[in-house]
Amino acid sequence: MARVAFLGLGVMGAPMAGHLARNGHDVTVWNRTSEKARAWAAKHKGNAAADPASAAFATEYVFLCLGDDPDVRDVYDALEPSIGGGMVIIDHTTASAGLARDLFARSRSKGVAFIDAPISGGQAGAENGQLTVMCGGDKSAFEKAEPVMAAYSKRITLIGESGAGQLAKSVNQICIAGIVQGLSEGLHFAEKAGLDVAQVIEAISGGAAQSWQMENRWKTMVDDEFEHGFAVDWMRKDLRIALEAARANGASLPVTAEVDQYYADIQAMGGSRWDTSSLIARLKR
């Protein structure tokens, strides 16, 4: 089993670190809110560190699961004095490909591997150990880290070189944005037309309209229940990253840009912490 550090114990990071501990790894955690780290350590019989460098000292793997580019850069700067000796750093934050490439180069200069490894599956996926992981980096480092990441994952894929994992996560979020808006409009139309929505879903869910979002979210969307963990604030952050990357590479994302503004409307309605399926609330307003 491995000696690992896990930095960032939010709704995703805390259960992911828990799966590592349950799989027999020696886990040291750090979180900006130290009380959360101490509570995690007490629950999982792990260790809580006072700072990122202390958490990472003498470990084989360092996992990051943070908020945005500035958070990742700050934490990397703080842990940098402790990195070396063939360590592998795995960043599960959804951040920019440019940052991933920068930290890959900084890590390599110290003999350390860096994998950008954003995740998909939401809070439920983290809690159930069923996350999808999209990775960018060297194949040898990926093959070394993959068995450790398997503790909380159902699918782990090396997409390509450094930054490719982050770009793949943007593809994921672009697709989700369009699907959720389409499902929201379909459900809204069905209600306005006076149809039995459950019967409609039963009729169409086995055909081309089927999606994970339809299967798992249609009922709660109709019932105005938006408490599934992945907040609108975070989705807007992810879409910002995707739109910035599109401006750089020349991709045209008109629907994504439009849906991003719809999520801005949800924020203005007080739904910043609602989950991404809340787009239907804008149509019902």
pLDDT number for residue 190: 98
pTM above 0.85, yes or no: yes
pLDDT number for residue 277: 97
For the chain, the structural domain boundaries read 3-161, 167-284
Predicted confidence band of residue 47 (pLDDT cuts 50, 70, 90): very high
**C-beta separation of 269 from 222 below 8 A:** no
pLDDT number for residue 192: 98
pLDDT number for residue 228: 87
In this structure, CATH architecture of domain 3-161: 3-Layer(aba) Sandwich (3.40)
Predicted confidence band of residue 15 (pLDDT cuts 50, 70, 90): very high
pLDDT number for residue 220: 97
Amino acid symbol at 182: G
| Site of tokens 């390509």 | 160
Residue 43 burial (CB < 10 Å; 0-12/13-18/19+)? exposed
pLDDT number for residue 265: 98
pLDDT number for residue 152: 98
pLDDT number for residue 145: 98
Nearby residues of 58 by Cβ (< 8 Å), 6 or more positions away: 3, 82
* pLDDT tens-place string over residues 230-282: 899 999 999 999 999 999 999 999 999 999 999 999 999 999 999 999 999 99
Give the residue from 109, 114, 117, 111 showing the smallest Cα distance to 133.
117
* pLDDT tens-place string over residues 54-81: 999 999 999 999 999 999 999 999 999 9
Does the structure show a pLDDT above 90 at 85? no
Taking residues 167-183, report their average pLDDT: 98
| CA–CA separation, 170 and 49 (whole Å) | 32
The residues annotated with a catalytic role in the active site are 169
Taking residues 148-176, report their average pLDDT: 98
What CATH class is the domain 167-284? mainly alpha
Longest dimension (CA), the chain: 65
Does the structure show a pLDDT above 90 at 229? no
Predicted confidence band of residue 19 (pLDDT cuts 50, 70, 90): very high
**C-beta separation of 261 from 166 below 8 A:** no
How far apart, in Å, are the Cα atoms of 176 and each of 152, 233, 255, 267? Answer: 22, 15, 11, 18
Q: How far is CA 23 from the centre of its chain?
A: 21
* Whether the domain at 3-161 and the domain at 167-284 fall into the same CATH topology: no
Instruction: Label each residue of the chain as H, E or C.
Output: CCEEEEECCCCCHHHHHHHHHHCCCEEEEECCCHHHHHHHHHHHCCEECCCHHHHHCCCCEEEECCCCHHHHHHHHHHHHHHCCCCCEEEECCCCCHHHHHHHHHHHHCCCCEEEECCEECHHHHHHHCCEEEEEECCHHHHHHHHHHHHHHEEEEEEEECCCHHHHHHHHHHHHHHHHHHHHHHHHHHHHHCCCCHHHHHHHHCCCCCCCHHHHHHHHHHHCCCCCCCCEHHHHHHHHHHHHHHHHHHCCCCHHHHHHHHHHHHHHHCCCCCCEHHHHHHHHHC
Compute the mean pLDDT over every residue in the chain, rounded to the nearest whole number.
97
pLDDT number for residue 98: 98
Predicted confidence band of residue 176 (pLDDT cuts 50, 70, 90): very high
